[in-house]
Amino acid sequence: MGEVMLSITQLNKSFDTAGGQVKALHEVDLEVQEGEFITVIGPSGCGKSTLLRIVAGLDTGYSGSVTLEGANIAGPGIDKGFIFQEHRLFPWLTVEKNIASDLPLNRPDIRQKVDELIELVKLNGFEKSYPRELSGGMAQRVAIARALLRNPKILLLDEPFGALDAFTRAHMQTVLLDIWRRNKTTMIFVTHDIDEAVFLGNRVVILEPRPGKIRKIVPVDLPYPRKKTTNSFQEMRLRVLNYFEKVDELELTDGAGI
Amino acid sequence: MSNRAVALGAAHKPGKAAIAGLGLLLPGSVLILWQLLGHYGILSEMLFPTPYTIAQSFVTLARAGDLWSNFRVSAVRALSGFLLGGGLGLLLGILVGLFRRSERLLDPSLQMIRMIPSLAVVPLFILWFGIGEESKVLLIAKGAFFPVYINTFMGIRGTDNKLFEVSSVLGFSRMQQILRLVLPAAVPNIMLGLRLSLGLSWLGLVVAELIASTSGIGYMMSDARQFADTPVVFVGIIVFAAAGLLSDTVVRLIEQRLLRWQDSYQG
């Protein structure tokens, strides 16, 4: 840690819709250190996905500056790994081929890295399975392995566990923290689940909607591995929760678990 | 296919032989009834020769070698027409599917040609190419072209946009996007187009051979009609049916193999 990985200054982004211009992000400033785990939380329409997509290079047409290791984001690429809410695996490729995708699996170094990643995301025995044969959590782990194979400077995760049941989600959070501890990949994780945000992040970025801007950045100084049942965790969770003026803002708009 | 489907099925599903038997039940009964009706003179032997007579005629033709030589001529025609039309359909379908500019350039003209009934161009083809092989192969190719063309186009345009985003995040080049995303995604449609084209190739073959020909199964049939040799006409029909079924089965097996990854209702 220490080096600045991602620097966002005065970021503004609007969308043209049938009803006129909608301001998605308003004067967002954020600096992410190398190896940091940032979680971004906010209700629907606060622009958290837009923020992530801009960093990934998937959305353009913004004002302000976004730099990764000092360089402007030129477009999507393998240095910015992206995990979508759905796994988005290629349905016609097996697990190992999905992870390799455009890289030749018969090259010894690729083969070895793919095998290591399958080990890391605990999918041994499923190398030759097709996506339809996997559960949601397994498929999302394949997607994570696919991104990690390319050694991204930063891994962007857009509500990746949102569609999973509570047990699978808790398991995936542990798996992800495990990966983060081993690889020290910088992570930005978007969620609408406060527990998840506090459990995972070094810092929790709280966004507010219409227009989307940062309300507060809360450092979470709890040691890993965290336990959701401890008092210190619950205190931290309440602190984050208190930053939402109306507590039910989150619950009502997203149905997120409290 | 999962083990649980097999385990579920084993308990109460009938075996493979029983299912095959089910398929034979209807044609089998019809054959027996037909034979009986013909045997007792209720059906005219002239218009409806009994299955036994047809079988005899089949054996005679096969022994003389006529059947095989005619079949070979027909099969070569159908196959070359299919390859020519289907191949062009695939090529142009990909081109038009991938690039909007080529769609503007080519698609309107191709749709126009599609609307011309194949039979309507037969006189023209005969004038241009005579009654030789070219006119027949071209007629078949015209029929075989469109199902592959349209389905390839649709398959390519149906590629999931979300997977396109993935391909750009993974840093695919334009070429890789085509080879690793668009084409694999279009394979189900392409296979459907190929199957339809194959069926139309046999159809086009019959039309071509019945109209003007001096060889082939279709010629054998129209020749037999002139001599009122009804059993031979039936033999021709059976040969066409068998050849059509066989070629469709081959394509279906290839399709199954290519589409193992699909998660669809198995019946």
Residues of B in contact with A90 (CB under 8 A): 163, 166, 180-181, 184
Q: Is the model more confident about B131 or about B62? A: B62
What's the pLDDT score for residue A37? 96
CB-based burial label for A155 (10 Å; 0-12, 13-18, 19+): buried
Nearest CA in chain B to A57: B169
Task: Note whether A77 contacts B171, CB cutoff 8 Å.
Answer: yes
Q: Residue A212: name the closest of A13, A73, A68 by CA.
A: A13
Confidence of residue A252 (pLDDT cuts 50, 70, 90): very low
- The whole-number pLDDT of residue B42 equals 87
What chain A residue is nearest to B159 in terms of C-alpha separation? A90
Q: How many residues does chain B have?
A: 267
pLDDT, average across residues A1-10: 84
The mean pLDDT of B69-76, rounded to a whole number, is 94
Type of residue found at A137? G
pLDDT tens digit sequence for A66-121: 999 988 888 898 999 999 999 999 999 999 999 999 999 999 999 999 999 998 88
Which of B166, B169, B184 is the closest to A92 by Cβ?
B184
Residue A209: the pLDDT is 83
Report residue B9's pLDDT band, with 50, 70 and 90 as the boundaries.
very low
Structural domains of chain B, with CATH: 50-258 (1.10.3720.10)
Contacts of residue A13, Cβ cutoff 8 Å, sequence gap at least 6: A23, A24, A25, A47, A50, A54, A59, A61, A62, A63
Q: Are B128 and B205 in contact (CB under 8 A)?
A: no
Here the ipTM equals 0.84
User: Can you tell me the mean pLDDT for A170-199?
Assistant: 92
The pLDDT assigned to A2 comes to 67
Residue B1 is predicted with a pLDDT of 42
What's the pLDDT band for B23 if we cut at 50, 70, 90?
A: confident
With bands split at pLDDT 50, 70 and 90, how would you rate the model's confidence at B13? Answer: low
The yes-or-no verdict on residue B66 having pLDDT over 80 is yes
* pLDDT tens digits, B245-260: 999 999 999 999 889 8
Q: How confident is the model at residue A180 (pLDDT cuts 50, 70, 90)?
A: very high
Q: How confident is the model at residue B212 (pLDDT cuts 50, 70, 90)?
A: confident
Q: Which residues pair with A72 in a beta bridge?
A: A67
Interval A191-240: pLDDT, tens:
989 999 999 999 999 998 878 888 889 999 999 889 989 999 999 999 99
Strand A4-17 with A80-83, pairing? unpaired
- Closest to A63 in 3D by CA, of A116, A19, A10: A10
pLDDT digits (tens, 9 = 90+) for B225-239: 889 899 999 999 999
State residue B12's pLDDT score.
58
Size of interface A-B (CB pairs under 8 A): 58
Chain A's closest residue to B165, CA to CA, is: A58
Overall average pLDDT of the B81-90 stretch: 96
pLDDT digit string (tens) for A129-148? Answer: 999 999 989 999 999 999 99
**B163, B165, B260 member nearest A58 (Cβ):** B165
| pTM to 2 decimal places | 0.80
Instruction: Give, as one character, the DSSP assignment of residue B48.
Output: S
pLDDT at B260: 86
Provide the pLDDT for residue B175: 92
pLDDT higher at B113 or B14:
B113
Spatial distance between the Cα atoms of B199 and B254, rounded to a whole number of angstroms? 16
On average, the pLDDT of chain B sits at 88
Q: What is the pLDDT of residues A28-79, one digit of tens each?
A: 999 999 999 999 998 887 888 999 999 999 998 899 999 999 888 888 989 9
Phi/psi of residue A234, each to 5°? -65, -40
CA distance linking residue B203 with residue B210, whole number of Å: 11
pLDDT-derived band at B207, boundaries 50, 70, 90: confident
In this model, does residue A248 exceed pLDDT 70? no
* Nearest chain B CA: its distance from A84 CA (Å): 9
CB contact under 8 A, A88 and B166: yes
| Residue with token string 């044969």 | A133
Closest by CA to A122, choosing from A103, A97, A147, A140, is A140
Mean pLDDT for chain A overall: 88
